[in-house]
A and B are shown apart, each in its own frame.
Chain A
Amino acid sequence: EAGVAQSPRYKIIEKRQSVAFWCNPISGHATLYWYQQILGQGPKLLIQFQNNGVVDDSQLPKDRFSAERLKGVDSTLKIQPAKLEDSAVYLCASSPLDRPDAEAFFGQGTRLTVV
């Protein structure tokens, strides 16, 4: 079974530029998460989708971050414009919809450096 795929693995941009990350979850997983992990901290949930609908985006800085999952499969997360404090690893994870005990499977993440 293929895992969660993310790209790119690394990205360096200047502040005020824009950037987009892509995630393809495990086939059949209806729930998709985007997390931001700053060095030395635990992952912080940015947004959670079930199929193509948003379940929770309460911690997504909506003035600069956006995410979509148009066909209920892969997803993109965009930052525009980026700030220095956005430097972090952005993790995508997926899990099956119908099991509350289902573990989340994580991709390798995208390490973003804003200079």
Chain B
Amino acid sequence: GQNIDQPTEMTATEGAIVQINCTYQTSGFNGLFWYQQHAGEAPTFLSYNVLDGLEEKGRFSSFLSRSKGYSYLLLKELQMKDSASYLCAAPGGFQKLVFGTGTRLLVSP
């Protein structure tokens, strides 16, 4: 089975850096996804990690440690438009995508 944990809510100010953590327990590991979801909209893909380490993509980076069952999403130079929910998701089997509860990020001026 799957168990995915994330903080419920985080706050940060514009221009700052924020790290959103995700811990997971899974019977089989096929990588870890991060999605962004603005209020009232559908989730959109941010990143996928299958190997340990940090992957950078512009202002967003994602880190994975398979031995620790741990990932984080790092957002730099925060902008107001980054206010959204960030969902950690792990495949529970081939392409069975299971989501955590999501972390709501509030960016203030």
Q: State the CA gap A43–B101 with chains docked (Å).
A: 7
Query: Which residues of chain A (64-98) have a CB below 8 Å from chain B?
Result: 91, 93, 95, 97
Q: Which residues of B contact A31 (CB under 8 A)?
A: 95
Which partner residue on chain A sits nearest B9 by CB separation? A40
CB contact list, A7-63 vs B, under 8 A: 31, 33, 35, 41-45, 48, 50, 55-56
Check A42 against B87 for contact (C-beta < 8 Å). Answer: yes
A/B pair count, beta carbons within 8 Å: 54
Residues of B within 8 A of A103 (CB): 33, 45, 48
Task: Give the shortest distance, in Å, between B61 (CB) and chain A (any CB).
Answer: 17
Give CA–CA (A81, B48) in the complex, Å.
38
A45 touches B94 (CB 8 A): no
Tell me whether A106 and B96 are in contact (CB under 8 A): no
Interface size on B, residues (CB 8 A): 22
Alpha-carbon gap, A48 to B97, bound state (A): 9
Partner of B31, one of A48, A55, A100: A100
Shortest Cβ distance from A98 into B: residue: B95
B99 at interface, CB cutoff 8 A:
yes
- Other-chain contact of A43, B50, B87, B91, B96 (Cβ < 8 Å): B87
**B30 interface neighbour in A43, A100, A105, Cβ under 8 Å:** A100
| Complex Cα spacing A44 to B4, Å | 12
Interface residues of B (CB under 8 A from A): 30-31, 33, 41-45, 48, 50, 87, 91, 93-102
Q: Give 5 A-B pairs besides A45-B97, A95-B95, A100-B95 with Cβ atoms closer than 8 angstroms.
A: A43-B43, A93-B97, A100-B91, A101-B50, A104-B97
